[in-house]
Copies of this chain bind each other. A is one copy, B any other.
């Protein structure tokens, strides 16, 4: 059972009364349990815990006045994923897609799957249905795009990314999600901590619904899916930014870390990874 220590420090300069929603807390699911957690706000300040969206993302909510604001977050997380052998995992026929999964076939702000039906069918329509088709989408996305900080911004969607052929982790995830949905494979965005990510940062990856599980995929192929720690889950990054700020604040410094305490997971992505579900 991998035990991962993950966390962040976020330092802001606040210049007007400002509301923050911090989406940095590790999620609790049947297969990802937060054993221990430490949240510190400086200067000391009360915060509320909110549960947002269909997947009840746990979010810290607080109000601040001008000045410096720092959030320290650390968690120790036990991962007990469902692990499967990819060849056994089928796509779910549309009539069997559960009702709570169906909305993840809809297009969303950054995953305009409604425009990409012909594209997805041309690239992936001939492939065998199943887990391997989503792997093929990830490999294609990884080869098609160049990872480039600053190449995109907060309004970039999957269609832009196809044109620009560059992006960061969230763009990779959005493109892969949009292609899955266009093929009628339910898919959703996950933000999180990632073991072995260099340079360390928050990560954006995704899940596809196959068989009767949500399986994790990393379209950037930068890390192993076994070392992903879920923060938020949603339709796309609009549902899981690391911070939502209403007011006026500037991020001065961001430190993100993730390390395994148990040494069971390869810090690099490995060939023939098993399929992993933690939802």
Could you tell me which A residues sit within 8 Å of B by CB distance? 19, 21, 50-54, 59, 61, 63, 94-95, 99, 102-103, 106-109, 112, 114-116, 118-119, 122, 144, 146, 154-155, 159, 162-166, 184, 235, 238-239, 246
> Nearest B residue to A159 by beta-carbon distance?
B163
Pairs A–B under 8 Å by Cβ, sample size 15: A21-B102, A50-B102, A52-B102, A53-B54, A59-B99, A63-B95, A103-B239, A107-B238, A108-B109, A109-B109, A109-B112, A115-B164, A116-B163, A118-B146, A118-B166
> Given A106-B109, A108-B238, A238-B114, does the pair A99, B52 have CB atoms closer than 8 Å?
yes
The answer on a CB contact under 8 Å between A99 and B165 is no
Q: Is the interface of A mostly helix, strand, loop or mixed?
A: mixed
A94 interface neighbour in B19, B99, B108, B165, Cβ under 8 Å: B19
Q: Chain B's nearest CB lies how many Å from the CB of A65?
A: 13
Known contacts A162-B162, A238-B107, A122 near B144 by CB under 8 Å: yes
Distance, CA A239 to CA B106, complexed state (A) = 7
